Amino acid sequence: MFWFIIIAAIIIAWIEAPSLVRNKQWKDLSVFSGFLALGIVLGAVLDFQLPFPNPTKGIEALFKPVTEAFFGKG
């Protein structure tokens, strides 16, 4: 399955990247590359069944102090 993720990412980059380079859209190319790399990493994490933290807990830890500051401890 991991090889399928890599092959799919190569095909997507092969289709999309040349036009971004040709048109000198460097910011778009960097965002595209970042999202593609993030997708590869997340696909690998899921494929290898590595422990992956729940994003809800991170959001809760980020916003809990702000919520407590505005609404008090409940």
C-alpha–C-alpha distance, residues 26 and 6, integer Å: 23
- What is the percent of the chain with per-residue pLDDT over 70, rounded to a whole number? 99
* Phi, psi (deg, nearest 5) at residue 51: -65, 130
Half-sphere exposure of 43 (CA within 13 A, CB side): 15
pLDDT tens-digit series, residues 9-19: 999 999 999 99
Which residue type sits at 65? P
- What is the percent of the chain with per-residue pLDDT over 90, rounded to a whole number? 68
pLDDT level of residue 74 (50, 70, 90 thresholds)? low
Task: Compare 29 and 1 and report the one with higher pLDDT.
Answer: 29
C-alpha–C-alpha distance, residues 17 and 36, integer Å: 11
